[in-house]
Amino acid sequence: MSANPSKLLKDYLELIKFRLTASVVGSALFGYLVAVKVLHTHDFSMVKALGVVLGGFFTVAASNGLNQLIEKEQDSLMKRTSARPIAMGRISEAEARLFCLLSAFAGFAILWIACNPLSAWLGLISLVLYAFLYTPLKGVTPLSVLVGAFPGALPPLIGWTAGSYELDAMGLTLFGFQFFWQFPHFWSIAWMLHDDYQAAGYWLLPTPHGRSKNSSLQIIVYSVLLIAVSIMPISLGMVNNWFLLFALPLGGLILFRAFRLHSSLETADARKLMFTTLFYSPLMFIGLLIC
C-alpha cells in the first residue's frame, strides 16, 4: 500500500470505480426525486436524499471493490484492467476485504436509518447479486449480462422506495427501463472490448459467436423492448403525454444505432451506440421530472 495519501486516495477511488459509482448513485437519487414528484406523499426530504446518495454510494463502492477482489487474476490478464490497485498489489486483499465489509455495513445502515428497511434490503440484494452471482458468471456464460442487469436496475427502485415505502407498478417501471437499457449499453461495450475480455475468459456478448449478426440482432430486440417499457409511465399516470418527446426520440436513436451495428458489425458503430446510451438515462429521468 502506498504511503502517499494522494496516491492512496487515487487507488481507493479506482477500487470503487468512482465515476461508475457516481453515475449509479445519480440514478438512485433520480428515483427518489421522481417518487417525490409523482406521489406527493411528502415534501422533499434532505435527510432521505442524503440517505439515498450516501447509502447508495457505500453500497456500490462495496460491490465494485468485491468485484475487483474476485476478479484480481482476470484483471491482470486484460489491458484495460491490469493496472487496477488489487491486481498490481497497491491495495492488499485483506485491506480491500475490510474496506468492502465496512462500506457494505455503512451503506445498509444509512439506507435503513435515513430511508427505510425496504430500501436497505434492496441495496443489500443488489450488492449480493452483483458481487457473488454476476461476477463469477462472467467467465461461465453469456447470460451473465442478463443476471447483472438485475442489480444494475435496482438503484432507481431503491430511490423510489425511499419516497414510496413500497414496491409498486410505478417503481417497477423505473426498474424496467433501467433493466432493458443495460443491454444495448453493456453489449456495445462488450463489442468494443471483446478481444480484451476473451483474454480473461469472459463471454459478455449475448452469443458465443462474438461479434456476429446473432449478437447484434439481440441488441436490436432489447432496444425495442426498451422503447416499449419507456412509454409505460404515461399509462400509469406518472407523466403526461409530453414525455413521448423524450422516450420516443431517445429510444429511437438507440434503435437506429443498433440497426447500424447490425448492418456493419463494426466496432466504430458499437462505440457510437455506447455513447448514445450514455445520455439516455439522465435525459429520461429529466423527462420524468418535468412532464
For range 51-77, the mean pLDDT? 90
| Pair 6, 69 in one domain | yes
Minimal CA–CA distance to 206: which of 154, 194, 271?
194
Higher-pLDDT residue of 203, 269:
269
For range 38-45, the mean pLDDT? 79
| Pair 269, 173 in one domain | yes
Higher-pLDDT residue of 205, 137:
137
| Pair 43, 70 in one domain | yes
| Pair 39, 117 in one domain | yes
Percent of the residues in the chain that have a pLDDT greater than 90, as a whole number: 63
**3-class SS of residue 245:** helix
| Pair 80, 127 in one domain | yes
For range 48-76, the mean pLDDT? 91
| Pair 161, 172 in one domain | no
Which of 7-21, 117-131, 245-259 has the lowest average pLDDT?
Answer: 7-21
* pLDDT value of residue 267: 93
- pTM reported for the whole predicted model: 0.91
Place of cell 471483446: 194
C-alpha 101: how far from its chain's center? 21
pLDDT tens digit sequence for 85-141:
888 888 888 998 999 999 999 999 999 999 999 999 999 999 999 999 998 888 788
C-alpha cell at 118: 425496504
Does residue 261 register a pLDDT over 70?
Answer: yes
Does residue 242 register a pLDDT over 60?
Answer: yes
Q: Could you give the C-alpha distances from 45 to 51, 109, 139, 162, in angstroms and in order?
A: 10, 18, 43, 10
Q: How many CA atoms lie within 13 A of 237 on its CB side?
A: 2
| Pair 283, 190 in one domain | yes
Higher-pLDDT residue of 223, 195:
223
Residue at a domain's end among 121, 149, 167: 167
| Pair 157, 199 in one domain | no
| Pair 149, 211 in one domain | no
Q: Cα separation of 229 and 244, whole Å?
A: 12
Q: Cα separation of 256 and 166, whole Å?
A: 36
* pLDDT value of residue 195: 83
Read off the CATH number of the domain in which 186 is found: 1.20.120
**Domain count of the fold of the chain:** 2
Place of cell 427505510: 116
| Pair 185, 143 in one domain | no
* pLDDT value of residue 42: 67
Minimal CA–CA distance to 50: which of 24, 28, 23?
28
Q: Which amino acid is at 213?
A: K
* pLDDT value of residue 241: 93
Does residue 1 register a pLDDT over 60?
Answer: no
Residue at a domain's end among 116, 147, 167: 167
The boundaries of the domain holding residue 178 are: 168-291
| Pair 134, 114 in one domain | yes
Q: Cα separation of 121 and 248, whole Å?
A: 34
Does residue 2 register a pLDDT over 60?
Answer: no
* pLDDT value of residue 84: 82
- Give the confidence band of 41 by pLDDT, cuts at 50, 70, 90: low
Read off the CATH number of the domain in which 137 is found: 1.10.357.140
| Pair 195, 261 in one domain | yes
Residue 274's CB is within 10 A of a number of other CB atoms, namely 20
Residue at a domain's end among 134, 167, 200: 167
Q: How many CA atoms lie within 13 A of 78 on its CB side?
A: 19
Higher-pLDDT residue of 246, 39:
246
